[in-house]
Amino acid sequence: MAIEQITYEEFLKKLEAIEKRYLSDEPGFPPGAKEKGLEICRKFRREVAEIGPENCEYYIDTLYGLPMHKPIRPQDTEYVHCAHCNARISVEQAVHYKHRLIYGEHYHCRECDPKGVWDCMSHDTDMEVH
């Protein structure tokens, strides 16, 4: 088996070609093979959608023309907690704050701070006043 790395677009095109073949009236498939093949194609699409297309590597078996995917395992991902909702998020996705007076260094998630401009001190003061 010879395997070559391909792009996500090439992976999708190959899946579509396989699905089209299984849906055709082409003779020669053993009983149940078309259904099983279509089920595997749907499974591949679902797995990639759940993981995220950018979080996979894509390959093709050049001998049989079968597409494959493999999740990319992030190395040394550091996680932090949002100071507001306590959600666990990766440092890359978090909004990082260094407030030297009161709050010190902390992080916000994108749900609590979608624009990355939350001012904790002003917010807390506002909450105390109202």
| pLDDT tens readout for residues 70-112 | 998 766 667 888 887 888 888 878 887 776 565 567 888 888 8
Amino acid at 60: I
The angle at the Cα of 99, spanning 96 to 102, to the nearest 5 degrees, equals: 135
The vertex-60 CA angle with 56 and 65, nearest 5°, equals 145
Average pLDDT, the chain: 83
Indicate the pLDDT class of residue 113, thresholds 50, 70 and 90: confident
Pairing of strands 56-61, 79-81: unpaired
- Beta-strand relationship, 56-61 and 3-6: antiparallel
Q: Given pLDDT bands bounded at 50, 70 and 90, which one contains residue 126?
A: very low
DSSP letter, residue 116: S
Identify the band that residue 130 occupies on the pLDDT scale cut at 50, 70 and 90.
Answer: very low
Judge contact between 94 and 108, C-beta under 8 A. Answer: yes
**Model confidence band, residue 60 (pLDDT cutoffs 50, 70, 90):** very high
- pLDDT of 41 > 50? The answer is yes
The DSSP 8-state label assigned to residue 94 in this structure reads S
- Give 123 or 40, the one with higher predicted confidence: 40
Read off the pTM: 0.55
